[in-house]
Amino acid sequence: MSKQIVLVGAPVNDGAGSKGCVMGPDAYRTAGLAGTLRELGHSVTDHGNLKPVSTGGLTPPNPVLKNYDSYAGWTRALHAKATDLGASPVFPIYMGGDHSLAAGTVSGHAKAAALMNRPFFVLWLDAHSDFHTLDSTASGNLHGTPLAYACGLPGFDDLLGAPLEHIVKPENVEILGVRSIDTAERALLLSMGVGVSDMRSIDEDGISTRLKPFLDKVRDANGLLHVSLDVDFLDPEIAPAVGTTVPGGTTFREAHLVMEMLHDSGLVSSLDLVELNPFLDDRGKTARLMVELTGSLFGRRVFDRPTRSF
C-alpha cells in the first residue's frame, strides 16, 4: 500500500560524545533514501532540516550534563514537528542526528496518539537502552537519556518548559538488540517494566521469536508503533559509521528480518534513523545499509534486490 512519506532532517550532534552525526541527514539523501522509497511506489516529500528552538539559555540541573540547552532546543522543535506530523495522514522519517533527537520525536508522537485516542508503542532498536535520567548519567552525553524522558522519569521538566503531559507507558516499550546497559539503567528498566530483549536472548531464541510477541501486543491494542533505529543496533563489522560501537550486534539478515516483519505487520507509523556518523563510514557503506533497511520496512523483498557486479 502506497504511503505519503515525509523526510525530516534533524542534524543533532550535541547529545553524542563524538562529532559527525550533524552530517547524517545529508548522507541519507546522498545514499538515495528518497529514490529508494519512490521506487517502491511511495510518495516522498523532504521537509529539509529542522533547527532547534531558542530556549533563552537553560542552566543544566546536573553540572555533568553536556549541551543541555541545545538538547532542550532540539527537543522542543522535534516535539512540535512530530505532534503535527503524527496527527496528519503521512509517515514521518526523522533522519538524524544522534539519538537525543528521540526525546522530541517520541514524545511528540505520543501526544499525537493520545489526541487520536490510540495506544502508543515504541520499538527501540539499539545496542544501548538510553534510559539514564539527568541524575544517573555519568558521561553527561544526553543521547543516553531520551527513552527515560519519554517514559516520564522525573527531572526533565525544562526540556519542554513544562512537565511532559503524554508519557509513553514503559510496558509499551520493547528494546531489541541491547548489549550495553549501565547499572543505573538496569535498575530503572527492571523497576519500570520495560521490555528488554538482549543479544543473548536473540542468540538463544532467534530475533523473530523475540519480536513477534511485541507486535502481537501492539496489534491487539490497535496501537500506533514508533520505531527508533540506531546504527549501533547493527554489528560494527557491517555498520562502522557510529561513535558508540559495541561488538556482537545484529547481522545483515537479522536486521532485514526485523524490518520485513515490521512491514508485514502494517503497524509502524513513524521512524527514527539515528547515530549515523558519515565521518566514520567506509565509502558510504553504513548509510547505504540503513537505506536498504528502510527499504525493507517499506516493502522491498529479497526478490526485489538486484544482483550487483563488482
Q: Kindly report the CATH number assigned to the domain that includes residue 18.
A: 3.40.800.10
Spans of the chain below 70 pLDDT: 302-310
**Quick one: pLDDT at residue 306?**
59
Handedness of CA 57, 58, 60, 65 (dihedral sign): negative
For the chain, count helices (H), then strands (E): 10, 8
Known catalytic residue at 166: no
Please give the residue range of the domain that contains residue 209.
4-302
Reply yes or no on whether 126 is catalytic. yes
Catalytically annotated residue among 143, 158, 235, 260: 143
Which candidate in 14, 232, 254, 272 is catalytic?
A: 232
pLDDT of residue 301: 83
**Class of residue 211 by CB neighbours under 10 A (exposed 0-12, middle 13-18, buried 19+):** buried
Residue carrying the nine cell digits 558519515: 278
Mean pLDDT of the chain: 96
Residue 283 is assigned to a structural domain of this protein: yes
For position 310, what pLDDT does the model report? 42
d(CA 309, CA 267): 36
C-alpha grid cell, residue 294: 528502510
Q: Among 181, 187, 184, which Cα is nearest to 62's? A: 184
Position 308 in a domain: no
Question: Does the residue 174 lie in any domain?
Answer: yes
Residue 307 lies in a domain: no
Tell me what pLDDT residue 200 has.
96
User: So what's the pLDDT on residue 304?
Assistant: 60
Quick one: pLDDT at residue 303?
56
Domain count for the chain: 1
Give the active site residue among 69, 272, 275, 281. Answer: 275
In a domain, 74, yes or no: yes
